[in-house]
Amino acid sequence: MVFDTESTLDTGRYQTLPQLIETAVAKFGDKPAYACLGKSLTFNEIDTYSKEFAGYLQQSGLQVGDRVAIQLPNLTQFVIAAYGVLRAGMVLVNTNPLYTERELIHQFNDSGAKALVVLSDLLPILAKVVNETQLELVISTHAMDLIDPQPQPSTGLKNVVFVEALRIGREHGFQPVLVDSDALAALQYTGGTTGLSKGAMLSHANLIANALQCKSRLGNKLVEGEEVFVAPLPIYHIYAFLVNLVLYFECGGCSVLIPNPRDIPGMIKTLSQYPFTGFAGLNTLFIGLCYQESFQQLDFSHLKVTISGGTALTEAASDLWRDTTGCTISEGYGLSETSPVVSLNCPGKEMLGTIGKPVLATEVRIIDDEDNEVPVGQVGELAVRGPQVMSGYWQKPDETQAVFTADGFFKTGDIAMALENGMHTIVDRKKDMVNVSGFNVYPNEVENVLANYEAVMECAVIGVADERTGEAVKAVIVLTQDATAGEQTRQAIEEHCRSQLTAYKVPKYIEFVEQLPKSTVGKILRRELRNQ
């Protein structure tokens, strides 16, 4: 077992997230806290708006502990609403703006959400499902509402406009609420890759602990009141939520919110306007940016922290980012169920191919199918215990029990290996493993080899049925712009793989595509490729 003992985690610094918010506001008042669509709001302004929103929720009849869903892209309204929900003692339900009607009905009903803050563009979809949910209150906002309020679509829905909610809250006033540190702060729904998504129950203490754990690991790379951190990943996802709405706010940093990360030219134009010191992304985004000439010409002189998570970082992406920006990438690892960070490489001291060491006060075991710990250097399932680990899945006691060991370790479903130096490597997702004639093939390993071939821009490896070997390895590849999808390229890639992989790991099938299916975070979805 690996247990981080480098120092003690100060779990008593903040009892609740509202206390963390209020402390940061008192310390950094007039400094910019969030920038979006060309407009910045200070800590004091965020404080005022979030109190108004909390006051609105209180006067609307909602009670402490009620669930409030937020279905917005990266807009300052998201931050104001989220902080308002927490300050009113209610529970945040982060909701993907791209969810289908089926997914919305499931998440709203499973969480029991009584209120929803939603992008006005999504009102027509909501109108189709609202009668199948318990939603009593809908607050809608246009992306530009805090800059230049816009008319909202007419859908027949009884909804309140965000800026009007703030006005009502201002008139009504806000009554501070006391909640316990172990009270539920957020229901963070998992991706639902193994069926219907489940709500991980994250407390105030879970999220505060994880922010302080990450702060300790980043060390002197975080200077209070001076950081400018870019948020291209959706803040409804736990990765960006923790980094931007908790960690960097607590440190007095300014988060630059990117509403549409798919608009690469637009993102680069925004980046050109800020002396950004930190950036969070993942493999596909790093590669996509570095191939843009306008990105290569940006000023990276202030950049000192780049964090990668959500999916494995390839050597090719790491090298490309370092060569382009001069900054190394610190790969970490986490899940919705762990608030999310379990381990993280120390910036500037990274060991490529690993997820670093566990963060403070975090125990990690590599276990077999009987929950017994395996020796260092052997693969097994990664299990974790620490103050950032959820209490369980919302209203699912059987599923909760199934993912915890008898002594309280959460079983992640990821295959990993502990190294002698205390670091870990993620081998692959348990369910993504390909079995070729009884031999285990881990897609991450094959993808890393493929990504190092000059003609490969992105790739995904899956298992497909094979009469002779049970399963065979298939590589789905997006080529660089100057490469040609033909038999000669296919043979060259296969030869490249044969030079670096045992024969049974070499892709038997290679398919060239124009793009790979991805989640809203940018994670390549192998399951969609398997289902095609």
If you average pLDDT over residues 303-322, what whole number do you get? 91
Give the dihedral sign, CA 387/393/397/398: negative
pLDDT class of 277 with cuts at 50, 70, 90: very high
If you average pLDDT over residues 235-259, what whole number do you get? 97
Enumerate the CATH 3.40.50.980 domain ranges in the chain, comma separated: 43-179
φ/ψ region of 477 (left if φ > 0, alpha if ψ in -120 to 50, else beta) reads beta
**pLDDT(193) > 50:** no
The fold of 202-429 is Rossmann fold (3.40.50)
**pLDDT(6) > 60:** no
Among residues 287, 292, 324, 262, which one has the least CA distance to residue 454?
287
If you average pLDDT over residues 159-163, what whole number do you get? 96
Enumerate the CATH 3.40.50.12780 domain ranges in the chain, comma separated: 202-429
Contact indicator for 498, 510 with CB cutoff of 8 Å: no
Tokens of 472: 């065979």
- The conformation of residue 51, written as its DSSP 8-state character, comes to H
DSSP line for 220-258: GG--TTT-EEEE-S-TTSHHHIIIIIIIHHHTTPEEEE-
CA dihedral 318, 324, 330, 336 (to 10 degrees): -80
Enumerate the CATH 3.30.300.30 domain ranges in the chain, comma separated: 435-531
**pLDDT(461) > 90:** yes
DSSP line for 75-101: -HHHHHHHHHHHHTT-EEEE--TT--H
**pLDDT(195) > 60:** no
**pLDDT(189) > 90:** yes
**pLDDT(4) > 60:** no
Q: Name which residue leads in pLDDT, 30 or 527.
A: 30
Among residues 61, 81, 71, 74, which one has the least CA distance to residue 163?
81
**pLDDT(324) > 60:** yes
Q: pLDDT value at position 5? A: 46
**pLDDT(194) > 60:** no
Among residues 131, 125, 121, which one has the least CA distance to residue 101?
125
The arrangement of strands across the sheet holding 410-418 comes to 2-3, 363-367, 379-385, 410-418, 424-429
Q: Name which residue leads in pLDDT, 413 or 23.
A: 23
Pairing of strands 278-281, 228-231: parallel
DSSP three-state, residue 456: strand
Largest Cα–Cα distance of the chain, in whole Å? 72
Per-residue model confidence as pLDDT tens digits over 358-371: 999 999 999 999 99
Q: What architecture is domain 43-179?
A: 3-Layer(aba) Sandwich (3.40)
Contact indicator for 124, 144 with CB cutoff of 8 Å: no
**pLDDT(278) > 60:** yes
Average pLDDT value over all residues in the chain: 94
Q: How many CB atoms lie within 10 A of CB 180?
A: 11
Q: pLDDT value at position 2? A: 60
Which CATH homologous superfamily contains domain 435-531?
A: ANL, C-terminal domain (3.30.300.30)
